[in-house]
């Protein structure tokens, strides 16, 4: 068994004026904010009004002897590489080094229902009216309301204020399904790949689209870890960010890999993935030339990975995210191992990740719901799709 003892846990050091609208106490106890960092986390000062009531899990990448300065008044745990090695032992090899993928260690050690993960160069954005966007609050709203993966609502998220299901939307599908993931977006520097950044270095995203939509069942999407929230109890075991960075052939595909696994598993379990608001302000692009080197293999591999994920089918016995993930890891080895030996290693790392997950989150502590047996009054078409078990 692992023993968790982060090198630093701080409590509120000095009374600070409460944020304008403090979260309900229950909610504050249901969310961990996970931040991967290889620098300081001064950016938290800009988020204080929204983040201070919450617990932070800071995953320090790079040199563990470097002291990461955290602004006073935040309640946080900080884990560096020494902690990861101490807590996971030989299994620590599944947590990437020198890549933002290390953030998934924070998902592993959290005990909360919801995770919000954000990069340390992401700041509070303003909506078109000039109001600061409380990204965390919007993510929780997205996660707390159902998704509609089986039938697209053209007025987008029907559960948002001022919206609803449009005419022709089957009433048998209006209950929706639980939401596993809320994928937020970015103003200023969008999460582009290196080639796009290289050819469009001056591109800045100024377009604020006030919409949230469920990504339809069967559709994949390129998940970014920059501004992301999820229900840890529903899909946490599938949120592994893979083997990236140091001594790995690819980098900067961590969140995409996780997103493809999460989406096929969410489709199988009958839970939803939303994308859209909230926006954050992404302040800087990392070095596009270095990123091109890191991404190169991934750019070629993804042309083989997408057909693989589009063809994934999971057995009916897979009624939890863990079981789905283990079955998926076998398919990765069988079908992607021939693309590159890296995928055999990744398949093993997926199994190691689940072992870590189960050891740090023993079933008694997990209120992970078994697959949501689709008790929905399903429309015939959707029922037919489901009975084929096709993703
Ligand atoms: O070796 C590293 C490098 C970075 N980090 C931390 O990860 C995030 C993202 O880093 P950064 O903002 O420098 O890179 P971006 O290109 O803007 O990030 C996007 O690409 C993905 C990188 O793989 C990332 O998920 C996307 O958001 C920061 O918090 C860095 O401090 C790290 O931990 N280790
Ligand atoms: Mn960034």
Q: How far is the CA of 355 from the centre of ligand 1 (A)?
A: 26
Q: How far is the CA of 256 from the centre of ligand 2 (A)?
A: 15
**Is the shortest distance between the CB of 39 and ligand 1 below 6 Å?**
yes
Determine the residue of 62, 100, 279, 283 to mutate for testing ligand 1's pocket, defined as the one with the most ligand atoms within 8 A of the Cβ atom: 100
- 142 lies in which domain range? 28-362
- What pLDDT is recorded for position 369? 46
pLDDT digits 0-9 by tens, 213-229: 999 999 999 999 999 99
**Is the shortest distance between the CB of 121 and ligand 1 below 6 Å?**
yes
**Is the shortest distance between the CB of 185 and ligand 1 below 6 Å?**
no
Residue at 387 is within a domain: no
pTM score of the predicted model: 0.89
**Is the shortest distance between the CB of 102 and ligand 1 below 6 Å?**
yes
- Quick one: how many helices (H) and strands (E) in the chain? 12, 10
Q: Whose CA is nearest to atom 7 of ligand 1?
A: 100
Residue at 4 is within a domain: no
Q: Can you read off the two tokens belonging to residue 318?
A: 């897979």
- What pLDDT is recorded for position 215? 98
Q: Can you read off the two tokens belonging to residue 327?
A: 């079955």
Complex prediction ipTM? 0.96
* Helix (H) or strand (E) segment spanning residue 8: strand 8-9
Q: Which atom of ligand 1 is nearest to the CA of 37?
A: 31
Q: Whose CA is nearest to atom 29 of ligand 1?
A: 119
Strands 55-60 and 75-79: parallel
Chain-centre distance for alpha carbon 248: 21
| Whole-number Å distance between alpha carbons of 96 and 100 | 8
Residue at 200 is within a domain: yes
Residue at 244 is within a domain: yes
Q: How far is the CA of 142 from the centre of ligand 2 (A)?
A: 23
- What pLDDT is recorded for position 26? 65
Residue at 306 is within a domain: yes
Residue at 390 is within a domain: no
- What pLDDT is recorded for position 73? 97
Residue at 18 is within a domain: no
Q: Can you read off the two tokens belonging to residue 265?
A: 């598993």
Which stretches of the chain score pLDDT less than 50?
A: 7-20, 368-391
Residue at 1 is within a domain: no
- What pLDDT is recorded for position 286? 85
Residues near 42 by Cβ (< 8 Å), separated by ≥ 6?
A: 69, 71
* Number of domains the chain contains: 1
Q: Which ligand is nearest to the CA of 95?
A: 1
Q: Residue 264 sits in a domain of what CATH number?
A: 3.90.550
């Amino acid at each position: 068994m692992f023993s968790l003892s982060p090198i630093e846990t701080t409590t509120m050091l000095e009374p600070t004026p409460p944020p304008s609208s403090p979260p309900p106490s229950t909610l504050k106890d249901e969310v961990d904010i996970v931040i991967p960092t290889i620098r300081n986390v001064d950016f938290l000062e800009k988020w204080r009004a929204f983040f201070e009531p919450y617990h932070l899990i800071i995953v320090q990448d790079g040199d563990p002897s470097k002291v990461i300065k955290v602004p006073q008044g935040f309640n946080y745990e900080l884990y560096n590489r020494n902690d990861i090695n101490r807590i996971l032992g030989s299994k620590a090899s599944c947590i990437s080094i020198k890549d933002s993928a290390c953030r998934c260690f924070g998902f592993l050690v959290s005990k909360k229902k919801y995770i919000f993960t954000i990069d340390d160069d992401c700041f509070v954005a303003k909506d078109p009216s000039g109001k600061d966007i409380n990204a965390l609050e919007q993510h929780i709203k997205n996660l707390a309301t159902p998704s509609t993966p089986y039938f697209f609502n053209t007025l987008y998220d029907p559960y948002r204020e001022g919206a609803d299901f449009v005419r022709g939307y089957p009433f048998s599908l209006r209950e929706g399904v639980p939401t596993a993931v809320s994928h937020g977006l970015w103003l200023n520097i969008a999460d582009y790949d290196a080639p796009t950044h290289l050819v469009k270095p001056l591109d800045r995203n100024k377009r604020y689209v006030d919409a949230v939509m469920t990504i339809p069942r069967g559709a994949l999407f390129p998940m970014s870890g920059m501004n992301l929230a999820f229900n840890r109890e529903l899909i946490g075991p599938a949120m592994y960010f893979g083997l990236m960075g140091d001594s790995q052939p690819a980098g900067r595909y961590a969140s995409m890999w996780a997103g493809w696994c999460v989406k096929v598993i969410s489709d199988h379990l009958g839970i939803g993935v939303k994308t859209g608001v909230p926006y954050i302000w992404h302040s800087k692009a990392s070095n596009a030339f270095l990123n091109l080197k890191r991404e190169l293999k991934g750019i070629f591999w993804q042309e083989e990975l997408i057909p693989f994920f589009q063809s994934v089918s999971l057995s009916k016995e897979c009624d939890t995210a863990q079981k789905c993930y283990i079955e998926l890891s076998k398919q990765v080895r069988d079908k992607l191992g021939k693309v590159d030996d890296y995928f055999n290693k990744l398949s093993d790392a997926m199994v190691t990740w689940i072992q870590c997950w189960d050891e740090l989150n023993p079933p008694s502590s997990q209120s992970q719901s078994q697959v949501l047996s689709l008790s929905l009054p399903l429309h015939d078409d959707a029922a037919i799709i489901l009975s084929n078990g096709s993703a």
